[in-house]
Structure 1
Amino acid sequence: MSTDYTYDEQGQFFPFFILTLAGLVTLPLTYNLLKPSKELENTAPRIRSGFKPEHEDLIEAQKRKRLRKERRIKRIVTVVLGYGIMAYMAYLIVVTARATPKIWDPYEILGVARSANEKAISKHYKRLSLIYHPDKIRPDPAKNETIEMLNDRFVELTKAYKALTDEEVRNNYLQYGHPDGKQSFSIGIALPQFIVTDGNGKYVLLVYGALLGVLLPYIVGKWWYGSQRYTKERVYVATAGNIFREYKDDITDGGIISALSSGDELKETIPPQKAESGLAKLEKKVLAEDAKFISDQDREVIKGLDDSSRRKALALLWAYLGRVELDDSTLNGEKYEVAPIALSLNEAFTAISLAFGSLRPLLGSFRTSQSIIQAVAPGSSPLLQLPYFTNEVVQSVEGADAKNHFTIQKLMKMSEDKRRSLTVGAGLLSENQYTAAISVAKQLPVLQISKAFFKVMGEKVITPSSLVQLVVKARFVPPGSTNVPDVNPTDLEDIDPEEGDLDALMGRGPSRNRSVKFADGQNKGDKIQPPLAHAPYLARDHSPRWNIFLADGKQGKIAVPPFTFTTFDKPLFDESEKPTYNVQTLKMQFQAPPQVGDFPFVMHVVCDSYLGLDSKLDINLHIDDPAKAAALEEEDDISEPDEDSIAGQMQALKTGQPPKKAKKPVHDSSDDESNTDGDEGDTSDTNTETDVDD
């Protein structure tokens, strides 16, 4: 048996081959582009506001520019090209004639019915022999017949006759499908033959060399080095190195902004050829003597930079934070372009701060995030977050000689008449502007802590090195809220999950007993998102994050790194868009210290999107001796039988005296301080109320 190779001369199968390859690339890319985005910014509601910043068109243009980058134009082009190729291959499949392989059939060759018996077949064959025997027939020139063709035809008739009458030949036909037995094995190749014909080999070799030796290594190398180029915060490794060199334990908020300007992403946005354009005009505006939003130290930093790209990037950042009008559409556009980039770079600075474990830089990074999102310079009044509020309005509210800035909460605590008299008037706000500003203030998500305590799941005390939970009970109370209901004491309890509820025990979902929310989006139940940050000057949408962490106040160090919360387990607003004041349960797990004793911490709750909404409180972690835990367990196991139980009745028959009624267990003060039960009566004796800044 031999093997024959046949090529697709008519292009019957080649389109199927190309269609399959194109589909393997195009269809997954299509799914990737069309699948619903899971990013928080694409699913969160928005704060109702009709405020339009001065350069709304430039900000929207920058948003569209960022969206074009995020949509991966190259993938879209690849998908369109892929569908074009697939459509053309489908067209070729439809219009190309099909040459189906012919099966050797003796009945068809002889022209007899399959029901004919051997006698009828022999009679029909003899009749055909008289007609088609080479000695009886002559070639017909009109049909282009030759002697060889006539001989071949008679041979096929003879083979067909023997296949139906001769036992040995018939066995070959039945077993192999041909009277001659096994035939040559034909392999069809879905390529036109011209590709492998003599003279074309060098071109085929060249194509294979380009695909396998150039294109494939380029794609793999680009993917590999591209993935190695970024950190897990999605910033360049080189940028992280630059920011790391700028880091100091005593760095100021202005120093953090200066450190962010060293990012290579900003240098790509402002290359050297664009750096000098408008730089002098920009610095004249930013470094003006009446520019109070920037300190003298930060002015000197700008002046001391030799790298024109970084110098311009830093000046643009300060112009954005100070809301400086640059009187140039190009410069204003660049001002709004650098802010979202700096916000992304700030995540790298946060990661570096966590690595060093110092409290001051970490808080500075969160404040920098707030400043960039709200376009408010460090140290400026939080009231500038409200629509239409300017420095003149802020000065009218706070007073010219005010040492401390007002928070939005403090402003909203004023009486309506006093607040209106300070903000509405000539050179201040109009009635419509005032109404819009107050409307936004009443929608801000202020997280107020109702209770915070430590516990170990399923245990009464906290022992050294155990897996301890920090449970925070809090609710959202927007500024200016009235008739806020008191917290229901039952909402402040924390009931352990059932023993078989593995998802809740492992922190993967809500408990069957009570819905809880774990850090970092681990809750698999319904997720309630707060509204997107009201940030009209930021050229991107941002969903607020709440960071909760423990610090050692005396040493200024981070004791437990931040746990980030982006969604919550209960609705923040009802159907009429009024606050629900639902108590949210937030849990963080970490390992307890290995020593016995009391460990005082400062718990920080920081929102990365708004200024003045942060809170902190002192909280105490009490670690008990393991022997005490064992004693408590033994006390629970060996308890006096109750008089109403069968064991109690049996004891009465034996002793002749009724058993004493079971008394409620009395825990000492150390048990109460540990808060391991999570009940209202077993809460820590530390102050768990938030410190509200007035």
Structure 2
Amino acid sequence: MAGQQFQYDDSGNTSFYFLTSFVGLLVIPATFYLWPRDLIDEKRRIKTLGKVHGQCLWYQLHLRKAGHSTAPTLKKVSLICGWILLCCLLYKVSIIENREKEYNPYEVLGVDPGASIGEIKKQYRQLSLKHHPDKGGDEVLFMRIAKAYAALTDEESRKNWEEFGNPDGPQATTFGIALPSWIVDQKNSMLVLAVYGFAFMVILPVVVGTWWYRSIRYSGDQILIQTTQLYMHFMNRTPNMNMKRLIMVLTAAFEFDPRSSKEAVMRPTDNTEIPLLIRELGNVNEKKKELPFCLPYSVKARVLLHAHLSRLDITNTLEEDYWLVIRKCPGLLQEMINVGCQLTMMANTRGGIHAPRLESIENCMKLSQMLVQSLWDFKSPLLQLPHFEEEHLKYCWSKKYKIRTVQDLVSMKDADRRSMLRFLSEEKYDGVMAVLSNFPHVSMEVKLQGKDLCGRALSVHLIIPDASSLASFKAGLKTLLFDRAFGLPPNSLPSLTPTPPLPHAPARQLTVQRFGTSSRREREEDDDELSDKGSDSEEETTNKDSQSDKDDDSDKEFNGEKDDEAEWEALQQSIQRRERALLETKSKITHPVHTLYFPEEKQEWWWLYIADRKAQTLISMPYHVCTLQQDEEVSTLVSKPVAFLHKALSPPSSLGYADSLHPED
């Protein structure tokens, strides 16, 4: 049996095949994922947003960053260099001479394949006289000539050549390795061993250990586990959390502690600048002795957040820390809402846990709006608009106009609005109107279906009409009357008609479908079943009814079966839509929000939930709607039976006015 033999690349030519494959595996996917192909589209999008968001801080920072950013250029240069290297390697591989040729004795002797034995012998004698070693010829070449002569004249050698391609018979199998021979050279063994040891015993464990250490410290939303535990402790301890307490708990996050986060820094200048801000802000509970609210990092973060909500100027030394706090807070508020939902579910299933009140969770949502708009909740919502200052509010609050909200401003006549805003130039007035036209309008529509009153699913359907459609900022609220005692059917839902549309105001519409509410007809059927348990005499009297009454009953049963079938089909269609939605990946880029002092572009997101105002509890867990562009459907479950006063709420996460409220009495 033939043996095996490994042959390393002495010339280095074979190594180019491996190197070409390796570079190709890197360059081709990197070009697909890293080539900045969307720069032109992004520039166009930013340019179109200039009229509405030109006064926003995030827009100005984006323009400044885009003008000085070298990342796209570096990516292009790196990828082009990679392709040049790949082309050079491909050219090198194409010109490498193939050293492994099929053995042909006719070529060695220099005769035609159809030559006779006599011609072969004559040619062999001539070559032997010329290349014999005794006469100064090449010994290796002479051996090849003799071997070729034997292959063509000796029967056994010819048979071996025809079967195995070699006159000597089967040879040892050789494997070519595309690595240079110096790698396995004994002189370089220690160097190669050191490189392998450093790569697999130092670099690999460090990379895996770093990833593992980070993964166990952070949640899926990149929030420190310690912060989540801190929020859970204080929300369980203080179910009714007002705004001041909420800000204290929020800024106690370990993301602002230098011992837990490398981004957070405590500077020597904080000892002088933070007290100056405290003196200017007033009471920020800086003397609180409760841990961790009294720690320096918590006080600093709380002061910077208060300064942001009060729109105070920040010194250059505090600016980096200020941006860190503002960027981290929206994600931390979302984590607080999630913690509140978890505590509510735990309180519903077991005792010993205090569920946070509805007001506490809604304060988290309200603080998110305040943070994005950099405005306290007791301030006028008109200050969200560009070019509006405190001294301008007196024009809006006069006895003649009494304008206090954005909705009031939008509902005015054009002439009255321009007269009231006479302190604005034409250019600034056009800018204000462009911002007003960008404010959303969301209306909700709820459809009730099903039979159960508890554990029922709620399907929410959100629709945004085309941008060319016009609608009012005053939401058209559809009042949902649901009362188990009086048995109001779901089809008896009165609605309020929206006011006429304002030009250039894009409309938002929210449609809610609820499954699991019994109708009056179904409850009447239940009452009929109870009444059937009467005396036998009553049954006999019933059997004497006229044929017309029987026909009426049969018609009712037939109509009831048709209603049940239609309801079942609607339920199945909704389930199929939800299954398709689970498999579909949607972008979280919806509609940019006008934010004057927020450092990042904020998308229009919403919270959707059902709450009991009287009991101050959540009935369904808040769902963060982050993909509302044209059409959205959301499903949730009601956690307990509800027979009175619950509301479907849809407050935005970025705007301070556009809550959509749906009462059920």
- Settle same-fold status: TM greater than 0.5: yes
Query: Would the alpha carbon gap of residues 497 and 33 (structure 1) be closer, same or farther in structure 2, given more than 3 Å must change?
Result: farther
Residue in structure 1 matched with residue 577 of structure 2 by the alignment: 507
Q: Which amino acid counterpart does residue 618 of structure 1 have in structure 2?
A: P
**Aligned partners of 1:410, 1:321: CA distance in 2, in Å?**
24
1:589 to 616, 635, 647: 635
Aligned residues with identical type, % of pairs: 23
| 1:298-347 superposed Cα distances (whole Å, 9 cap, x missing partner) | 46559995533333222222211211123x33434543443122222222
What's the CA shift for 1:593?
A: 6.7
**Aligned partners of 2:244, 2:512: CA distance in 1, in Å?**
43
Query: Would the alpha carbon gap of residues 89 and 263 (structure 1) be closer, same or farther in structure 2, given more than 3 Å must change?
Result: farther
1:366 aligns with 2:365: yes
1:276 to 268, 283, 290: 268
Q: What is the correspondence of 1:526-545 to structure 2 with a 5 Å cutoff? A: 530-545=590-605
**Aligned partners of 2:308, 2:570: CA distance in 1, in Å?**
54
Contact 1:243 1:259 in 2 (8 A): yes
1:251 aligns with 2:218: no
Contact 2:605 2:626 in 1 (8 A): yes
1:115 match: secondary structure:
coil
Q: What is the correspondence of 1:564-575 to structure 2 with a 5 Å cutoff? A: 564-568=624-628, 570=630
Structure 1 or 2: more helix by fraction: 2
Residue in structure 1 matched with residue 656 of structure 2 by the alignment: 611
Query: Would the alpha carbon gap of residues 111 and 317 (structure 1) be closer, same or farther in structure 2, given more than 3 Å must change?
Result: same
Count of residue pairs the alignment pairs up: 558
| 1:610-641 superposed Cα distances (whole Å, 9 cap, x missing partner) | 0011021223xxxxxxxxxxxxxxxxxxxxxx
Q: What is the correspondence of 1:45-60 to structure 2 with a 5 Å cutoff? A: 46=49, 48-49=51-52, 51-52=54-55
Query: Would the alpha carbon gap of residues 336 and 130 (structure 1) be closer, same or farther in structure 2, given more than 3 Å must change?
Result: closer
Residue in structure 1 matched with residue 406 of structure 2 by the alignment: 408
**Aligned partners of 2:567, 2:114: CA distance in 1, in Å?**
78
Residue in structure 1 matched with residue 342 of structure 2 by the alignment: 355
Residue in structure 2 matched with residue 441 of structure 1 by the alignment: 436
Contact 1:412 1:479 in 2 (8 A): yes
1:138 aligns with 2:135: yes
**Aligned partners of 2:629, 2:579: CA distance in 1, in Å?**
10
Query: Would the alpha carbon gap of residues 462 and 86 (structure 1) be closer, same or farther in structure 2, given more than 3 Å must change?
Result: farther
Contact 1:62 1:336 in 2 (8 A): no
C-alpha RMSD over aligned residues: 4.7
Residue in structure 2 matched with residue 388 of structure 1 by the alignment: 387
1:344 to 317, 331, 352: 331
Residue in structure 2 matched with residue 228 of structure 1 by the alignment: 216
What's the CA shift for 1:543?
A: 1.1
Query: Would the alpha carbon gap of residues 64 and 240 (structure 1) be closer, same or farther in structure 2, given more than 3 Å must change?
Result: farther
| TM-score, scaled relative to structure 1 | 0.68
1:241 aligns with 2:258: no
What's the CA shift for 1:232?
A: 1.9
**Aligned partners of 1:473, 1:76: CA distance in 2, in Å?**
39
Residue in structure 2 matched with residue 453 of structure 1 by the alignment: 447
What's the CA shift for 1:390?
A: 1.7
1:170 to 139, 158, 165: 158
2:619 match: secondary structure:
strand
**Aligned partners of 1:364, 1:594: CA distance in 2, in Å?**
23
Query: Would the alpha carbon gap of residues 57 and 565 (structure 1) be closer, same or farther in structure 2, given more than 3 Å must change?
Result: closer
Contact 2:461 2:512 in 1 (8 A): no
Query: Would the alpha carbon gap of residues 346 and 545 (structure 1) be closer, same or farther in structure 2, given more than 3 Å must change?
Result: same
Query: Would the alpha carbon gap of residues 541 and 468 (structure 1) be closer, same or farther in structure 2, given more than 3 Å must change?
Result: closer
| 1:458-493 superposed Cα distances (whole Å, 9 cap, x missing partner) | xxx4576554535577878453897439xxxxx989
What's the CA shift for 1:175?
A: 1.8
Residue in structure 2 matched with residue 689 of structure 1 by the alignment: none
**Aligned partners of 1:398, 1:207: CA distance in 2, in Å?**
76
What's the CA shift for 1:549?
A: 0.8
Q: Which amino acid counterpart does residue 4 of structure 1 have in structure 2?
A: Q
Contact 1:382 1:407 in 2 (8 A): yes
**Aligned partners of 2:75, 2:206: CA distance in 1, in Å?**
20
What's the CA shift for 1:398?
A: 3.8
| 1:93-147 superposed Cα distances (whole Å, 9 cap, x missing partner) | 469964622432201111111232444334433444455456xx511xxxxx5xx
Residue in structure 1 matched with residue 303 of structure 2 by the alignment: 315
Q: What is the correspondence of 1:77-88 to structure 2 with a 5 Å cutoff? A: 83=82
Contact 1:445 1:530 in 2 (8 A): no
| Stretch of structure 1 that moved more, 76-85 or 314-323 | 76-85
Q: Which amino acid counterpart does residue 3 of structure 1 have in structure 2?
A: Q
Q: Which amino acid counterpart does residue 653 of structure 2 have in structure 1?
A: D
Q: Which amino acid counterpart does residue 90 of structure 1 have in structure 2?
A: L
2:191 match: secondary structure:
helix
Q: Which amino acid counterpart does residue 382 of structure 1 have in structure 2?
A: P
**Aligned partners of 1:594, 1:378: CA distance in 2, in Å?**
32
| TM-score, scaled relative to structure 2 | 0.70
Residue in structure 1 matched with residue 494 of structure 2 by the alignment: none
1:601 aligns with 2:646: yes
Query: Would the alpha carbon gap of residues 176 and 15 (structure 1) be closer, same or farther in structure 2, given more than 3 Å must change?
Result: same
Residue in structure 1 matched with residue 560 of structure 2 by the alignment: none
| 1:61-114 superposed Cα distances (whole Å, 9 cap, x missing partner) | 68999x99xx899x9699769939955982894699646224322011111112
1:214 to 199, 202, 210: 202
Contact 2:36 2:72 in 1 (8 A): no
Residue in structure 1 matched with residue 540 of structure 2 by the alignment: none
What's the CA shift for 1:537?
A: 1.5
**Aligned partners of 1:391, 1:302: CA distance in 2, in Å?**
35
What's the CA shift for 1:256?
A: 2.8
Query: Would the alpha carbon gap of residues 253 and 76 (structure 1) be closer, same or farther in structure 2, given more than 3 Å must change?
Result: farther
1:445 match: secondary structure:
coil
Q: Name stretches of at least 5 consecutive residues in structure 1 with no aligned partner.
A: 140-144, 486-490, 511-517, 571-583, 620-685, 687-694
Query: Would the alpha carbon gap of residues 474 and 164 (structure 1) be closer, same or farther in structure 2, given more than 3 Å must change?
Result: closer
1:311 match: secondary structure:
helix
Contact 2:578 2:635 in 1 (8 A): no
**Aligned partners of 2:512, 2:267: CA distance in 1, in Å?**
59
Q: Which amino acid counterpart does residue 249 of structure 1 have in structure 2?
A: P
**Aligned partners of 2:158, 2:340: CA distance in 1, in Å?**
87
**Aligned partners of 2:110, 2:462: CA distance in 1, in Å?**
91
Contact 1:59 1:336 in 2 (8 A): no
Residue in structure 2 matched with residue 3 of structure 1 by the alignment: 4
Contact 2:6 2:177 in 1 (8 A): yes
| 1:407-443 superposed Cα distances (whole Å, 9 cap, x missing partner) | 2112323444554555444xxx445434422331232
Contact 1:441 1:479 in 2 (8 A): no
1:48 match: secondary structure:
helix
1:549 to 582, 586, 609: 609
**Aligned partners of 1:122, 1:499: CA distance in 2, in Å?**
95
Q: Which amino acid counterpart does residue 212 of structure 1 have in structure 2?
A: F
Contact 2:472 2:501 in 1 (8 A): no
Query: Would the alpha carbon gap of residues 395 and 297 (structure 1) be closer, same or farther in structure 2, given more than 3 Å must change?
Result: farther
Contact 1:106 1:160 in 2 (8 A): yes
| 1:153-194 superposed Cα distances (whole Å, 9 cap, x missing partner) | 343223212322333212211221111111122222222222
Contact 1:318 1:377 in 2 (8 A): no
Q: Which amino acid counterpart does residue 589 of structure 1 have in structure 2?
A: S
What's the CA shift for 1:506?
A: 1.9
Residue in structure 2 matched with residue 641 of structure 1 by the alignment: none
1:558 aligns with 2:618: yes
**Aligned partners of 1:398, 1:503: CA distance in 2, in Å?**
51
1:189 match: secondary structure:
strand
